[in-house]
Amino acid sequence: MSDSSRPNLWRRLPLWQKILGGLALGILAGALMGKDASAFKPLGDIFINAIKMLIVPLVFSTLVVGITSMRDPQKMGRIGGKTIALYLLTTAFAITIGMLASSIFQPGAGVDFSFEKGMDAKEAPSLVQILVDLVPRNPIDALANGNIMQIIVFAIGIGISLIMIGDKGEPVVRVFDSFAEVMYKLTEFVMAFAPFGVFGLMAHVSGNYGMDVLLPLAR
């Protein structure tokens, strides 16, 4: 195989294969290099930071665009009701699968999760307080701190308001639509870096903690 064809082969591979390849190479690098493999950890840190960078603007822009694409408020109400019902159904289904899988596979068995210091559990807030906290006092603060639920509420409010004002909101709708497209492209760039980020993280973990930690987790 010529050198010029190797980059083309890499580009043709599906992303999940690239990520699995990065994971395997990271474990191998950690096993061979030991703690020196921590030199690759910045790759993983960059990837994690990039993922966190995407969350807030991506969620906000896509929600606003999705809501403004439904011009009919009645249609939006019907879709909203179906979305809530589907969310509750899939959540219950996911919880059932998780409880069943945990009872069968017992994830974490054989892994030591003990901590030197105890952790105090916080008291769960009341339902009324949860509903109150959904509405942000300061939307900029919610965006800065990554409070996803408050961001969702604010985005829904913006989207509905843009629909209600009609043609006057079209310039803003176009701005959000363009911004959402920018975020989609940026997400592609970040995910293209995923194999290298996974490589760096796995090299650091396997090099510092060894296969004794990874093998029980692999099970």
pLDDT tens, residue by residue, 164-210:
888 898 999 999 999 999 999 999 999 999 999 999 999 998 888 87
- pLDDT confidence of residue 133: 86
Residues of the domain holding 148: 18-71+125-208
State the pTM of this model.
0.73
Give the C-alpha separation, 103 to 162, whole Å: 48
Examine residue 77 and state whether it is found in any structural domain, yes or no. no
Low-confidence ranges of the chain (pLDDT < 50): 1
Q: Is residue 115 part of a domain?
A: no
Residue 13 lies in a domain: no
Distance CA 128, CA 111 (A): 38
Alpha-helix residue ranges (DSSP H) falling in 106-138: 127-133
The structural domain count of the chain equals: 1
Give me the pLDDT at residue 46, please: 96
